[in-house]
Structures are given as structure tokens and as C-alpha cells.
A and B are shown apart, each in its own frame.
Chain A
Amino acid sequence: MVNALSCLLKKKITGESPAHNEAIEAIGQQIRREVDSVFGRSLAIRELDCGSDNATEIEIGNLNNPYYDVERFGITFVASPRHADVLIVTGAVTHNMAIAAKKTYDAMPSPKFVVAVGDDACNGGIFAGTYAVLGGAENLFLVDMKIPGNPPSPAQILSGLLALMRKAKGNG
């Protein structure tokens, strides 16, 4: 029989986290507090690529690497829109993705929030006004927060999510 207490107290077998970055920790702790109070302790995000150049996806994916490890701040990326509070949209919303994107949004339960990440999602970027795109997530959804960048860094994405939660609290 495993003694639960000794599991808690004994030396951890995992390695040290690779780097301690004060700025990331500070944003993280604030996110943790806001997630606890605004979203009932967990913020579920569904990522939706509507035509990015994949750099934004890579940076969002990097949020899960041990340098950021955002799950410890209460942020999880979920597999289904039905489990999501927030839809992160990237790309200038191509015509070829528009129907699937709309279906994804409609599948989310309310209340729901949309965050546009990257220049293309914010205003169409270099693709604004061209034949293949709607140009910016706001042409398809009501956008609650924009995080510009080509692409924005993981730290910038975290700051944007913090701003979203503060905005949501203000509205609540």
C-alpha cells in the first residue's frame, strides 16, 4: 500500500524546470488568479487555424513546452469546441475554411470568447482585400481580444489572454 503522505513529502523525481523567467511567472500568477475568479479555475481554449502561415500555431504550441507550461496557470487547450470557453483564431479566414470555422464556433457553449492571434487574424495582414480570404476574424465572429504579431511570441500571447480575462471580468 502506497503511503499518500510520503508521496507528497518525498523528493520529487522530476527534473528542475529548464529556466525560471520572472516575467513569465508574473504573468502566469496573474492569469492563475483571474482564471480562478473569472472562469471557475480552468480556462479551456480551442485553437482554430483559419489560414495562418503555421508560425502562430507553433508559438501557441510552444505555450505547452516546459519553459511556459501554461497548464500550471489553469489554461488547457482542449480537443473539442464543445469543451471550450475561448476560441483562438489564427489566419485571415480563407473562403475554404469559413464554413468549418463557423461550425466550430457554433459548437461552443455560451458564454464564449474569441481571441484573434497574429496579424492575419487581427486585420487580414498582408492578405487583407484579396480574393481568397474574408480578411480578419472579425468578419466571421465577434472578436473579444486581438493579439497582433507576426507571429506574437508566447509571452505576448499570455499577456493577451490576461487582458481578455480582465475584460471579461469587467463585463461580468
Chain B
Amino acid sequence: MTGNADCGFAAVREMAEGIQDQGRIVSGCAGEYYLTVDEREFEDLVLSLSQSKCVLSGLFCVEGFVTGSRFSLFYVFEKKTNILVVVRNIENSTRSIARVFPSANWFERECRDGFGVEFAGAFDDRRLFLHETYPDGFHPLLKSTKNVPIQPKPEVEPAEEYPFRKVSGDGVYQVPVGPVHAGIIEPGHFRFSVIGETVFNLEVRMFYKHRGIEKLAEGKRVEDCVRIAEAVSGDESVANATALCMAAERIAGTIVPDRAWYLRTILLELERIASHLGDQSGMLVDVAFPLGANQFAVLKEEVFRMNELLTGSRFLRGMVCCGGLSRDISRQQIGHLGEFISHFGKRYQVGLKIVLSTTSVIDRFVSTGVIKKNILLPLNITGPAARASGGKADVRVDHPYGVYDRFVPQPKPLNDGDVLSRFTIKASEIFDSLKLIEQLVLSLPEGPVTAGFTVRDGYALSMVESCRGENLCWILIRNGVVDRYKVRTASFCNWLAIEHAIQGNIVPDFPVINKSLNLSYAGTDL
């Protein structure tokens, strides 16, 4: 690892080229590097980072991180395998970088809502997760704001309603959809501007499910926050719990036993398989092909039952804990899993064959909802959505954790970026995950599943490849409790891809495009 860290440091110094006195770049405890800059340096650095095609994969605010400044803003820049966290210590405001890094738009609005930080020159300063009924001047993530019930406004006057982007012109009309949808899905609002049948523009409005995840974690023992991490997004329970525990373990210097990492990885991959199967089934429902949809729905139910057999929870909850796993999985249970996995691939192939040889399905999937490769980096689009559009990013490969450095997945990106590509990439990822689980089951080492975990103060970044892409987590532990828990799921960034994917498509294709991305509303809204 040391060798890698050295070459990582060289690459990070290159990222921060132009900064005087590079000795200020300090290494974090998770392979990331931190650099604190002043306003003037920041502007030049942002431009050079953008020119060298870095990605802004996270931006979050922390109050009271250093003495002498009220807030610290952490800008997480990524370039391939290297992570540079640029820190800005500020009083109340700084300049917006959303024109240079478009992914900053939602991040900055999130910081403004949470802390009241202002971003000068921002092209969009509407509220994000605090909807209209939240009182003015309320900023939940300020330390002075206690986490107690508030009195929301009982009604919203028409003048106070959320101003959607104005789209006008000959024949443009609006189609408002949501937050309550027709199916059994999560709430969100889609504002279509349509000409004839063709979508000219879409604006998504999320955060209907904002339930205060980050605030809830503050002041709690990190061990007790695992339950909160699991509630970020139900179908990413293992991914988010792992990200949190990994950050805490890195701060504490805990060495998680091998067996625990093997088992965690099995759970992570089972979670991915279940999610991908659900997406594929949903995509087929949305093109009215229940025969195909049910093939995958049956398999998904069987994965859930296997989950329950292994862990007692259909969502694999309560397993991942700081230091490893809360309990072992018996040899007999692992035997059942091996048996299940060995037959799974063949059965999955049967469903796949039915679907891919049905012309009415292919007709609906092909060239629908194209995500172009050139938006991947500016918007930080990750996961299968990116890998279907020629992107290569995969946290398991770029920032390997646990045993992924020994069992390296081989992403096989597709280039068309349409619904069919996303369907196919998910199919190929299911096969990869099956193979990976098979290997892990065969080589599962004996030994304990937990190392003693003793909390230590500090901060660390962690990233996990969830079923939807790169989930980022950053925690600050002070006086033995969580002072700040930042979680940014892949969905948060990927939502903006849908605004681009739908343009030029017809409204009736929206459900299948939406399902092909299958983003988590809960994981975005927090």
C-alpha cells in the first residue's frame, strides 16, 4: 500500500500544481489528501482542476472544524484513483463554482439550506431540501439548531411556491408529475416542458423525503449510527453501513479481519444483484412485458429469501458493524449460498433470453433515454448509468476497499448510453457479481468476524460502489461521538442525468428511462 500511497501523493501534487508550498498537502487516513487554500488560490486551483478534467464528487460543510473560522467547506476532487480534498475555511460566504463544476449546483444549495452559507455568483440559489413549509432562516445543520420538532408553515401561498425554471416558446406546455406517482414508488416531482409529444425540458424536484439523516447522527456513538446509515436507502443498506464503518475503522486504525471482509463483500454483491434484478423487472413492467418482468421478480424474491437465511434480514440489515460483522455466517449457510449461486446463473439466463429475443422490448429500449458521455464528468455520474455510456469509474477498481484489491471486478463499459445499454450492463454486472460470490465462497477464510473496535477522534473519507454507483461518506468524530456525518449517495448526482436523458424523448418513455437508472429518492433526500 505504501508504494501506491507515494505515487498517489505525486499525482495529487500534480493536481494541485500552481499552489505555492505544496508541503501543505496533508495525507488523510483513507488515502485522500487535504489541502487548505485561501480565496485567491482557490479560484486559480478550481480552474486548473477543471482544465485537467477532475471531477467534483462531493462538497460539504462542517461547522467549527478549525478554530478561527465558522465554517469549513470540503471540496472532494477526484482524478482517476486520486482524491484531493480542497478545504476552504470561511465565515459566511464564498464564491460559487457551479459554473465551472456543474455538480456543485446541488451541493452548494445543500450547504446553503443546511448551514446558511452563501455562494456568491451562483446561478441557482433556490432552496434544495428545505421545501416551502420550512420557516425562513431555519438551517438544521447548524450546531445552534437543536434537533427537535419545528412548527412548519401550515400553508403555502401561491407566491411562495417553488419557482421552476421558466421554459416558454411556441407550443410549449407543462406536464407536472408527482410527488405522488401512480405506482408503488417513492415521491418526487417531475416538471416536463413538452412540445407536441416530445419532451423539450425536464426539471426534477426532489427532497420530499428529507428526514434529517445527517442531523440525526450528530452526537451519537458511531456504533449507533450504523442503523441510521442503513436507513439512508433501504436497498443500499449494506453499502451505506459499510461506508460508515469503514470511515470509523480508518480513523481508529482498526484492522477488520479477513473473514469479515469476505462476508461483507458477499453481502455487498448480493445487494447489487437484488437491486439490478429489481431494475430489470421494473423496466420490463414499464414496457408492458410482464412475462419477462416476472422472470426477474421471482429471482429477486429468491435473493431476498437467501438474504434472510444468511442474516435474518431480507435487506441484510444488522450485519455490518464497526470492526467487522455483528455475527458470523455458519458453514452450513454458506453451503446453501454456494448451491443457490451455482444454479442462479443458468436460471437468470433463461429470463434474459426471453427478454432479449422479444422485438417489442428491444424496440422500446434501443435509442431511448440516451445519456451522453460528455456529461458524466461534469455531473459526476457514476455506477451502471455511467458504465452504459462509456464511463469506466468503479469505486471497487479505482479505490479498492476490503478484498476488492484481490478480487478485482472488470468493468466492461458499453457506449450507446441508452436504456438497452443500461439493461445489458446490469445483466453483465449480475453475472460478474455471481462469479465474485462464487469465488469468495470457495476461498472464504476461517477466523473471527470482528476486531475489537475502539472509537478514536478524527475524520476520514470512505467510498463504496453501491448498486447505483459511488457512495461517498465522510465523518468527523469528536469527543468519541459523531460531530458530522456526511453521506452522498450515487443517486444524488445521477438524478441530474435524467434531465439530459429525457430530452427529445416522448413522455410515455419517461417511466422506462427513470427505471433504467433506478435512482434512490430516499438516498438523495436524506
Task: Point out residues on A near B: beta carbons under 8 Å.
Answer: 18, 47-62, 64-67, 77, 79-81, 91-92, 94-101, 104, 126-127, 129-133, 135, 150-151, 153
Residues of A within 8 A of B140 (CB): 131-132
10 interchain pairs, CB-CB under 8 A: A49-B185, A54-B521, A56-B234, A65-B298, A66-B301, A67-B301, A98-B133, A127-B211, A130-B212, A131-B150
The answer to the question of B66 belonging to the interface, with a C-beta cut-off of 8 Å to chain A, is no
Residues of A within 8 A of B301 (CB): 18, 62, 65-67
The answer to the question of B233 belonging to the interface, with a C-beta cut-off of 8 Å to chain A, is yes
Segment touching A, from B5-13, B18-26, B202-210 = B202-210
Q: Are B231 and A62 neighbours in the complex by a CB distance under 8 Å? A: no
Known interface pairs A18-B298, A55-B315, A97-B179. Does A49 touch B187 (Cβ–Cβ under 8 Å)?
yes
Q: Are A96 and B300 neighbours in the complex by a CB distance under 8 Å? A: no
Q: Are A65 and B294 neighbours in the complex by a CB distance under 8 Å? A: yes
Residues of B within 8 A of A99 (CB): 133, 156
Q: Are A95 and B235 neighbours in the complex by a CB distance under 8 Å? A: no
Residues of B within 8 A of A65 (CB): 294, 297-298, 300-301
Q: Are B304 and A55 neighbours in the complex by a CB distance under 8 Å? A: no
Q: Are B231 and A130 neighbours in the complex by a CB distance under 8 Å? A: no
Docked pose: A23 CA to B522 CA in angstroms: 32
Docked pose: A79 CA to B108 CA in angstroms: 36
Instruction: State the interface size on chain B (CB cutoff 8 A).
Output: 52
Could you tell me the distance in whole angstroms from the C-beta of A75 to the nearest C-beta in chain B? Answer: 12
Docked pose: A2 CA to B205 CA in angstroms: 51
The answer to the question of B314 belonging to the interface, with a C-beta cut-off of 8 Å to chain A, is yes
Task: Point out residues on B near A: beta carbons under 8 Å.
Answer: 129, 131, 133-134, 140, 145, 147-150, 152, 156, 179-180, 182-187, 207-212, 215-216, 227-228, 230-235, 237, 278, 294, 297-298, 300-301, 304, 314-315, 317, 520-523, 525
Could you tell me the distance in whole angstroms from the C-beta of A65 to the nearest C-beta in chain B? Answer: 4
Could you tell me the distance in whole angstroms from the C-beta of B276 to the nearest C-beta in chain A? Answer: 13
**Other CB < 8 Å A-B pairs besides A79-B183, A127-B211, A133-B211, 15 of them?**
A55-B237, A55-B315, A58-B235, A60-B184, A66-B297, A79-B182, A91-B209, A95-B131, A96-B525, A129-B148, A129-B149, A130-B211, A130-B216, A131-B145, A151-B234
Q: Are A58 and B234 neighbours in the complex by a CB distance under 8 Å? A: yes
Docked pose: A54 CA to B518 CA in angstroms: 12
Docked pose: A94 CA to B233 CA in angstroms: 15
Residues of B within 8 A of A77 (CB): 183-184
Q: Are A48 and B235 neighbours in the complex by a CB distance under 8 Å? A: no
Docked pose: A44 CA to B143 CA in angstroms: 46
Residues of B within 8 A of A62 (CB): 297, 300-301, 304
Out of A97, A126, A133, which one reaches B227, CB within 8 Å?
Answer: A126
Q: Are B315 and A151 neighbours in the complex by a CB distance under 8 Å? A: yes
Could you tell me the distance in whole angstroms from the C-beta of B182 to the nearest C-beta in chain A? Answer: 4
Residues of B within 8 A of A49 (CB): 185-187, 209
Could you tell me the distance in whole angstroms from the C-beta of A72 to the nearest C-beta in chain B? Answer: 14
Q: Are A100 and B180 neighbours in the complex by a CB distance under 8 Å? A: yes
Docked pose: A101 CA to B297 CA in angstroms: 29
Residues of A within 8 A of B150 (CB): 95, 131
Docked pose: A65 CA to B521 CA in angstroms: 22
Could you tell me the distance in whole angstroms from the C-beta of B351 to the nearest C-beta in chain A? Answer: 12
Residues of A within 8 A of B297 (CB): 62, 64-66
Out of B180, B186, B235, B525, which one reaches A104, CB within 8 Å?
Answer: B180
Residues of A within 8 A of B152 (CB): 95, 98
Q: Are A51 and B211 neighbours in the complex by a CB distance under 8 Å? A: yes
Known interface pairs A54-B521, A135-B149. Does A96 touch B207 (Cβ–Cβ under 8 Å)?
yes
Docked pose: A51 CA to B179 CA in angstroms: 11
Residue of A nearest to B294 (CB): A66
Docked pose: A153 CA to B314 CA in angstroms: 8
Q: Are B180 and A132 neighbours in the complex by a CB distance under 8 Å? A: no
Residues of B within 8 A of A52 (CB): 186, 209, 234, 522
Could you tell me the distance in whole angstroms from the C-beta of A172 to the nearest C-beta in chain B? Answer: 28
Q: Are B148 and A131 neighbours in the complex by a CB distance under 8 Å? A: yes
Q: Are B234 and A95 neighbours in the complex by a CB distance under 8 Å? A: no
Residues of A within 8 A of B145 (CB): 131
Could you tell me the distance in whole angstroms from the C-beta of A146 to the nearest C-beta in chain B? Answer: 19
Docked pose: A127 CA to B235 CA in angstroms: 19
Q: Are B298 and A54 neighbours in the complex by a CB distance under 8 Å? A: no
Out of B133, B184, B278, B523, which one reaches A95, CB within 8 Å?
Answer: B133
Known interface pairs A54-B235, A131-B215. Does A61 touch B184 (Cβ–Cβ under 8 Å)?
yes
Residues of A within 8 A of B525 (CB): 51, 94, 96
Out of B208, B230, B300, which one reaches A97, CB within 8 Å?
Answer: B208
Could you tell me the distance in whole angstroms from the C-beta of A78 to the nearest C-beta in chain B? Answer: 9
Residue of A nearest to B178 (CB): A100
Out of A47, A54, A67, A151, which one reaches B233, CB within 8 Å?
Answer: A54
